[in-house]
Chains A and B, each alone.
Chain A
Amino acid sequence: MTFSLLHATDFADRLLYKIIPPLKAGMIVLADRYAFTAFARDVTRGVDRQWVRELYSFAVRPDLTLYFRVPIDVSVDRLLARRIKLKFYEAGMDMGWSTNLVDSFRLFQGKVLEEYDQLVREFNLEVIDAAGSITEQQRLVRHLIAQQVKTSNVETTDDEPVSA
């Protein structure tokens, strides 16, 4: 619960200082993770599903949400290949499900992925197969974003004259 609220506070701060002002200025904001991360992670930690959604109801609904889906085995392999140690909370060690870091990660993140699958349906997330090649993923990402930018008429700069 505390974990969930602490993240929400951080999110609210970033939303009000870093996300909303550029949106008002007509800019494109790229968010690396969003409220959906909290929905998946907090519910896995035992927080009420509806409560956490209501908590984040102050968040701006993204125009486009891309979900990079990857099987848990691929995720574990990638992380272990480039990092020596998995992070304590990322591995859900606080849950006490396993004393082994890798086992705990697999269990915890496995459940997080299940939650994401539900979010895909609930919030119409665009799923991108993140097990595929980087080039393929990037092409799909560009295609989806190009479509979005075209339909939502993102404003280019307001050419207001500079007054003396």
Chain B
Amino acid sequence: MNPLAPEGAPPQHGANGDIQGGRYYGRGIPYLPIHNYPGKLIAIEGTDGVGRSTQIQLLREWLEIKGYGVVETGWTRSPLMQPTIELAKASNTLNKLTFVLLYGTDFADRLEKEIIPALKAGFIVLSDRYIFTALARAGVRGVDRQWLRNLYGFAIAPHLVFYLNIDVKSLIGRVLASRGMDFWESGMDLKSGDDIYDSFRTYQGRLLKEYGSMADEFHFRVVDARRSVEKIQDELRKQVDAFLEPSERTSQT
């Protein structure tokens, strides 16, 4: 069986250094030109249970008090795809390829219907997870990395990507103290063993390694997530402020 791969396809650019916030990573969506949209896209990345949603909630309040319009978007939250994804997860018929493509479809829907319109209208879009979650999860499951990057060539490069970094040991403590370990977050589908604790440790360890390997490639701003909520929030606000300030000044003159 030969693959249907295009012959002599040129290597993709995008994820190779020439990334510009607010532009497409790769081939983009030809019918949606996004150049010079006034909005800003800020992604908060990090593994399961690292504290992303708490930080986003605080960031949102702060930005709104400062007078910015804020829109939130989150992984698998597309109204079109969420029920299907939940159903597929529950029915055990997913394989790594359909898994990746379902996530991709959800993301495409949110990009077209939420993110791009919000950027056009001048909102700050706070994204709870972004394509890096998909790249990390699929990478751990052995999906071809170049194919994944081509697939997500239609994604917009965020203006800022914050990566909440943590070690497995601290993560285990946090997760157990809050809601406990869950089937998918423990990578139980990889069938590395029946023990959820061992599976969680191995799987999250590999995920963290995948995230880490993307830090340079996608210009992550790495934030130490082992500190207190307030300390992390302070650092995020400082960096967001420093980023927004220059564009603020030009818009006023």
* Chain A residues within CB distance 8 Å of chain B: 1-2, 4-6, 8-9, 12-13, 16, 20, 23, 35, 45-48, 50-51, 53-61
Tell me whether B98 and A55 are in contact (CB under 8 A).
no
A58 in complex: contacting residue of B26, B29, B30, B147, CB < 8 Å: B147
Q: Residues of B contacting A53 with CB < 8 Å?
A: 4, 6, 9
Q: How many Å from the CB of A38 to the closest CB on chain B?
A: 11
B46 interface residue (CB < 8 Å to A): no
Tell me whether A50 and B105 are in contact (CB under 8 A).
no
Tell me the complex Cα distance, A1–B24, Å: 14
Given contacts A46-B31, A51-B27, 11 further A-B contacts (CB under 8 A): A2-B109, A8-B104, A47-B29, A48-B30, A50-B10, A50-B27, A55-B150, A57-B6, A57-B147, A59-B3, A60-B2
A2 in complex: contacting residue of B93, B105, B151, CB < 8 Å: B105
* Chain B residues within CB distance 8 Å of chain A: 1-6, 9-10, 12, 26-31, 80, 93, 95, 97-98, 101-102, 104-105, 108-109, 111-112, 147, 150-151, 153-154
Q: Residues of A contacting B147 with CB < 8 Å?
A: 54, 57-58
A54 in complex: contacting residue of B6, B29, B93, B95, CB < 8 Å: B6
Q: Residues of A contacting B31 with CB < 8 Å?
A: 45-46
- 16 A-B pairs whose Cβ atoms sit less than 8 Å apart in the complex: A2-B108, A5-B104, A8-B104, A9-B101, A9-B104, A13-B98, A46-B30, A48-B28, A51-B153, A54-B6, A55-B150, A57-B5, A57-B6, A59-B4, A60-B3, A61-B3
Q: Given that A5-B101, A58-B3 are contacting pairs, would A51 and B26 also be in contact in the complex, using a CB cutoff of 8 Å?
A: yes
Tell me whether B98 and A9 are in contact (CB under 8 A).
yes
Tell me whether B154 and A1 are in contact (CB under 8 A).
yes
Q: Residues of B contacting A47 with CB < 8 Å?
A: 29-30
Tell me whether A16 and B98 are in contact (CB under 8 A).
yes
Tell me whether B2 and A5 are in contact (CB under 8 A).
no
Tell me the complex Cα distance, A25–B6, Å: 27
Residue from A9, A12, A50 whose CB has the most chain B CB atoms within 10 Å:
A9
Tell me the complex Cα distance, A54–B1, Å: 17
Nearest first, the 10 A-B pairs at minimum CB distance are A46-B31, A9-B101, A5-B105, A57-B5, A59-B4, A48-B27, A61-B2, A54-B150, A1-B108, A53-B6
Tell me whether B29 and A1 are in contact (CB under 8 A).
yes
